[in-house]
Structure 1
């Protein structure tokens, strides 16, 4: 039986590229129970009409918060909508992602395989790849129990491309809306694992995904995602906030404390101590230590169009 009618796919959009958003809707809509777009920025009527055309026979819903509520709040809206429609899963997507054809059905099949093997999967995610095809994220060996469907257990998965089980989400709790953006998927995945669930990545289900505004190339072939100042601020702030959480593993906390100074130094050097980068670092560290979360727009007010 095709599981995709029990799936609500949800796209979080904030000043998206219209053509890319239309491609994403066309790619993911076939066979779904419904498709929702959380418009964290205004969506023109003609653009909404074009998205409905791309969705074909799949119902498309546009959710319009009063303003930009952030990614965590958007995910919670999508979970609530899926529950209202009696969907079993939510397939989360960012506007900069493009899953392979049939990705949702493939992930739903992987979820069933895991459940039949006695696992409690909260998330089964596609494998994000850079535009050139390079896999993103930490590599790990596939679980040998599933030789025909390479699945690897993960501490967390990128939110975009994640098939989230609604029953697990009820048990784990909502996504952190106060994080606004950055580390929301990391925190939720670790909370799910602490609650007895598991997180998986399907290595054979690729999804194109763009991170930040490029990469900072380091020695030995290493790279670091280059983020704008607002995202650097939320990254630092939320990483420090996670140090207080009991369900975050000690190994992750130790890694954060070890690598954060190096990351900060790389960003400052790469941007030649630009004032906005220095401000993002200073305020990110200060607000993270004070546990002052919420919208970053009080630190980086939105600029007029």
Structure 2
């Protein structure tokens, strides 16, 4: 696919926390695909200043938050800064551990053009695959594949979408921020289009091996593993996932049911095989409780300390 440079300004917004030096290389690579790169550091601990300075030397605008505000607020800060200074036509949102493969932005913008020409109202263009894993699909929109519940890392979002659906959900803090944005786009009649050939290399996090009495658990000869998350992260996963179900079950029951099935499978492995499963269950219970009490924002400090 070839991209003609007629889309106005494009700005990449990267959410950062305790970044490694790999992010410097990511920024250098991005400067060849977009007009500006904004890194929003979300209250990193001491020791990150050298890398933040290196990011500026690599060509990024670095915004430093004195406190940890969560992924939604961090992305919103970057989008707002870009909007004030450059009024871009497209925002590209990224996690610090994501790398766009090849001419990702060019392909995404070409996909946007073709879909728009076909009469598709595009919410954003997202990745076709993450570290080799295909993005699960939803219903097609006039022949264009839509993503079911895509990660925000790699969203290529036209300015019109932000104006229509508003910013990311800062009160979710972390987890489900991308899902909520996706569903607000759907409610507005916008399509979550998958960009053919748009691939991301992304750190999929810590994998735990399922073991029973010290032996690897297998199903049909295949080793079983799972994504391990800290207790605080499990709190957010359970709380925000429940909030999403409450918000969208009536209007999008199939989407909610499919998402619940996937989350339930992940929880089953997590609670069966994680070494600290009791603490994880405590975190999950608190998350479900706070969701039904409509309590959002950052995890309560007392609970966070107890889960440590």
Q: TM-score range by the shorter chain?
A: 0.7 to 0.9
Aligned with residue 13 of structure 1, among 12, 16, 22:
16
Q: Structure 1 residues 141 and 254, CA, compared in 2 at 3 Å: closer, same or farther?
A: closer
Partners of 2:35 and 2:251 lie apart in 1 by 34
Aligned to 1:291: 294
Equivalent residue runs for 1:86-97 within 5 Å: 86-97=87-98
Tell me which moved more, 81-90 or 214-223: 214-223
Partners of 1:165 and 1:175 lie apart in 2 by 14
Partners of 1:195 and 1:102 lie apart in 2 by 29
Contact 2:232 2:307 in 1 (8 A): no
Contact 1:5 1:32 in 2 (8 A): no
Partners of 1:32 and 1:303 lie apart in 2 by 41
Aligned to 1:30: 32
Q: Structure 1 residues 107 and 54, CA, compared in 2 at 3 Å: closer, same or farther?
A: same
SS in 1 for 2:125: strand
Aligned to 2:101: 100
Aligned to 1:268: 271
Partners of 2:49 and 2:269 lie apart in 1 by 43
Q: Structure 1 residues 142 and 257, CA, compared in 2 at 3 Å: closer, same or farther?
A: closer
Is 2:127 the counterpart of 1:126? yes
Equivalent residue runs for 1:166-245 within 5 Å: 166-214=159-207, 219=219, 224-245=226-247
Q: How many residues align?
A: 291
1:111-163, CA deviations, whole angstroms, 9 ceiling, x for partnerless residues? 11111111111110123422xxx315425798785xxxxx5212342100110
Offset at residue 89 of structure 1 (A): 0.9
Aligned to 1:148: none
Contact 1:6 1:88 in 2 (8 A): yes
Partners of 2:145 and 2:16 lie apart in 1 by 29
| Residue ranges of structure 1 left out of the alignment (5+ in a row) | 146-150
Contact 2:127 2:199 in 1 (8 A): yes
Equivalent residue runs for 1:37-48 within 5 Å: 37-42=39-44, 44-48=48-52
Partners of 2:140 and 2:122 lie apart in 1 by 15
TM-score of the two chains, using structure 1 as the length reference: 0.84
Aligned to 1:80: 80
Offset at residue 251 of structure 1 (A): 1.3
| Runs (4+) off by over 6 Å | 140-144
TM-score of the two chains, using structure 2 as the length reference: 0.84
Aligned with residue 278 of structure 1, among 278, 281, 290:
281
Contact 2:33 2:105 in 1 (8 A): no
Q: Structure 1 residues 156 and 123, CA, compared in 2 at 3 Å: closer, same or farther?
A: farther
Contact 1:93 1:162 in 2 (8 A): yes
Q: Structure 1 residues 283 and 216, CA, compared in 2 at 3 Å: closer, same or farther?
A: farther
1:156-206, CA deviations, whole angstroms, 9 ceiling, x for partnerless residues? 421001101111111111211111111111111111011111101124111
Partners of 2:296 and 2:190 lie apart in 1 by 27
Contact 1:233 1:281 in 2 (8 A): yes
Contact 1:126 1:161 in 2 (8 A): yes
Partners of 2:54 and 2:306 lie apart in 1 by 27
Contact 1:36 1:62 in 2 (8 A): yes
SS in 1 for 2:198: strand
SS in 1 for 2:197: strand
Contact 1:92 1:160 in 2 (8 A): yes
